[in-house]
Amino acid sequence: YQLSGLEGAPVVTLAHGLATDLTMWDFVVPRLEKHYRVLRYDSRGHGGSPATADNFTLDGLGLDVIGLLDSLKIERTHFVGLSMGGMVGMGLALDRPERLSSLVVCDARGDAPQAYRDSWNDRIALVRANGIEAIVEPTLARWFTDAFKAREDGMKFMRDMVLRTSVDGFIGSAEALKELDYARRLPEMTLPTLFLVGGEDAGAPPATMRTMHEATPGSSFVEIAGAGHISAVEQPEAVAAAVLEFLNRTTER
């Protein structure tokens, strides 16, 4: 994990997506840490965190966050999660709301229809047979707009990140995502919540996330133009601005 930013300020925890790691937030953090204490971490089996043989469930991934907060003596945090990180955040907000001050769900759907589960089964089989390298290029093709895919530096940054994901970390996390079932519970949400989505996100399309926003009492919705699924990498300034505006509205100082 990395902890940086303004000493004594409210904490904002950043959670990354499947097959990425905490460096996914590199271009957002400098804008946040001027105003907040920023905590980001590698999910199990990603980046510098080892995979484990058990508890690869969305609830288990949420308990990892609680364990980290406890070890750092952080009682409450704002939580910003992208893709898998957003799903973990929804679980925490619904089941352990006393530990969160607010929630930002970026580019994350709330349910797992059959086609979604089937797509994970296909990727799991591919990685199990051929390693993480087998999914790198198809994954990047899905994640980004054509404009970003033309940027050699950006694509290398993301390609290297995906390759740092362990096979066990990918498979365990993908199995967990197949059980995603938070959309039906969004009317129970009590925390201030922002749903943020890239305007060209094919994995968690704007229409899907707008429906989630409409189901969540008092929530906000922001669509980021010129961004696909990994909006925090593709349009970090716009993402940081939207997150800061939301946090500044909801933070008690």
pLDDT in tens, 116-133: 999 999 999 999 999 999
Average pLDDT of the residues in 171-200: 97
**For the chain, what percentages of helix, strand and coil (3-state, to nearest 5) are there?**
50, 15, 35
pLDDT(253) > 50: no
Using one digit for the tens of pLDDT, what is the confidence trace for 139-170?
999 999 999 999 999 999 999 999 999 999 99
Asked if 139 and 214 touch (Cβ cutoff 8 Å), the reply is no
CA end-to-end span of the chain = 25
Q: Are 130 and 114 in contact (CB under 8 A)?
A: no
- pLDDT per residue over 220-235, tens digit each? 999 999 999 999 999 9
Mention every residue, 6+ apart, whose C-beta is less than 8 A from residue 183.
109, 110, 111, 212, 215
The pLDDT assigned to 7 comes to: 94
- Cα separation, 234 vs 143, in Å, equals 10
* Selection from 43, 68, 46 nearest residue 58 by Cα: 43
Q: What's the rounded Cα separation, in Å, for the pair 74 and 90?
A: 19
Indicate whether 82 pLDDT > 80.
yes
* Number of residues that this document lists for the chain: 253
**50: confidence class by pLDDT, cuts 50, 70, 90:** very high
Q: What's the chain's average pLDDT?
A: 96
For residue 54, pLDDT over 90 is answered with no
125: tokens are 């089989």
pLDDT(53) > 80:
no
Q: φ and ψ at 6, to 5 degrees?
A: -70, 115
- d(C-alpha 170, C-alpha 230), whole Å: 17
188/178 Cα distance (integer angstroms):
22
